[in-house]
Chains A and B, each alone.
Chain A
Amino acid sequence: ILNVEQSPQSLHVQEGDSTNFTCSFPSSNFYALHWYRWETAKSPEALFVMTLNGDEKKKGRISATLNTKEGYSYLYIKGSQPEDSATYLCAFESEGNTGKLIFGQGTTLQVKP
């Protein structure tokens, strides 16, 4: 059974704080690691697809890193804003099962003004 773990489960920060959270995934049969942002009452929005060990991707104030050898990825948000409040999901895609995303439970971020 493939396990994808995210921590922390929830996070409350003040506007302007920088924050980061973790996604752990199996280190074998790695194909890709996906990050999504999911706001309440909306659909999950794709942030990054990470494929290479050492990959670092950036979109505005959000960035992500990838370590496939040890099986973890970090998502960073610099200078959090209230509109960053959402649940952030990671999903593992394995070789031989491409297309099948195994999602973590998510980290719910609340940014207070």
Chain B
Amino acid sequence: NAGVMQNPRHLVRRRGQEARLRCSPMKGHSHVYWYRQLPEEGLKFMVYLQKENIIDESGMPKERFSAEFPKEGPSILRIQQVVRGDSAAYFCASSPGTAFQPQHFGDGTRLSIL
């Protein structure tokens, strides 16, 4: 019963390095969503992707952050030149894309910036 798979579970980076977070959606799901949970805050929407397309990136910081969902392979959330404020839990969710379906969440990647 393969759910949404995220890796790594924990990632430690030094300031200025790049962080790559991976998400494999549930089988049969073509829609992927990324959310961020900053310390002491709730889940905040970042980006919504379908295969090879960004549908809504209204929650993405304007600089250093990018996301992709290629035709083959997992979705990638990339953070360049990380800063301490990027420390957070990043959650990926997927859905089949049909109307009124729930989004199924992965276990998240905890990113720590030294």
What is the minimal beta-carbon distance from A57 to any residue of chain B, in angstroms?
12
Report which of B4, B45, B100, B107 forms a contact with A101, defined as CB distance below 8 A. B45
- Residues of chain B whose beta carbon lies under 8 Å from any beta carbon of chain A: 3-4, 31, 33, 35, 42-45, 48, 55-56, 58-59, 91, 95, 99-108
The CA-CA distance from A106 to B108 in the complex, in Å, is 18
**Interface of A (DSSP majority class):** loop
Contacting pair B33 A99 (CB below 8 A)? yes
B101: nearest chain-A partner, CB-CB? A49
- Interface residue? A71 (CB, 8 A): no
Q: Which residues of B contact A106 (CB under 8 A)?
A: 42
The CA-CA distance from A12 to B1 in the complex, in Å, is 34
Report which of B31, B55, B99, B106 forms a contact with A43, defined as CB distance below 8 A. B106
What is the minimal beta-carbon distance from A69 to any residue of chain B, in angstroms?
19
The CA-CA distance from A46 to B43 in the complex, in Å, is 14
Contacting pair B105 A43 (CB below 8 A)? yes
- The answer to whether A97 and B56 touch (CB under 8 A), given A32-B100, A44-B105, A46-B103, is yes
Contacting pair A100 B45 (CB below 8 A)? yes
Q: Which residues of A contact B108 (CB under 8 A)?
A: 43
Contacting pair A103 B56 (CB below 8 A)? no
Could you list 7 A-B pairs, sorted by A, with CB under 8 Å? A32-B100, A49-B100, A49-B102, A100-B48, A101-B103, A103-B35, A103-B42
B31: nearest chain-A partner, CB-CB? A99
Contacting pair B42 A101 (CB below 8 A)? no
Contacting pair B33 A42 (CB below 8 A)? no
